[in-house]
């Protein structure tokens, strides 16, 4: 996927963020219809934030997302929107998730990335699967 530079009246930029977060107690809670719905919600939220989703890797017990964004939103607000919306809607649509007081942990991984390919994220995720 070719990435486009964002521009406004005074600047041209390309900022990629690599974000990862986990369900509470790292439970294996994503799979089947939940995975499909989670991906839809992340795409919706990215468009609401005027972010471009570069890569997404959803694992049973965590996910990795690379978004290209403008500095309009602070990183913690971007993550908060993704986590808040997905948790709220998935817990409404899948009642058994309501047993937990919250679905995602408060923690997340946030780093900047240059030109990141989906293959790079996939390799990283594969390495995470083999960790003990």
The string of pLDDT tens digits covering residues 8-55 is 778 777 788 888 888 877 677 667 788 889 999 999 999 999 888 888
Q: Compute the Cα dihedral for 130, 106, 82, 51 and give only its sign.
A: negative
**So what CATH class is 6-129?**
alpha beta
Mean pLDDT of 53-72: 86
Q: Is pLDDT of 3 > 70?
A: no
HSE at residue 74, side-chain half, CA atoms within 13 A, is 3
Which pLDDT belongs to residue 116? 56
Averaged confidence pLDDT in the chain = 80
**90 falls in which pLDDT band (50, 70, 90)?**
confident
DSSP 28: -
Q: Is pLDDT of 105 > 70?
A: yes
**129 falls in which pLDDT band (50, 70, 90)?**
low
Domains of the chain, residue spans = 6-129
């Amino acid at each position: 996927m070719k990435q486009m530079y964002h521009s406004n009246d005074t600047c041209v930029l390309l900022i990629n963020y690599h974000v990862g977060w986990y369900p509470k107690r790292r439970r294996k809670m994503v799979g089947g219809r939940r995975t499909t719905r989670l991906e839809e919600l992340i795409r919706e939220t990215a468009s609401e934030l005027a972010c471009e989703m570069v890569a997404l890797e959803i694992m049973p017990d965590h996910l990795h997302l690379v978004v290209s964004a403008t500095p309009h939103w602070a990183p913690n607000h971007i993550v908060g929107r993704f986590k808040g919306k997905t948790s709220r809607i998935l817990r409404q649509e899948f009642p058994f998730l309501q047993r937990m007081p919250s679905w995602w942990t408060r923690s997340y991984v946030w780093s900047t990335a240059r030109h990141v390919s989906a293959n790079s994220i996939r390799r990283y995720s594969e390495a995470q699967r083999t960790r003990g």
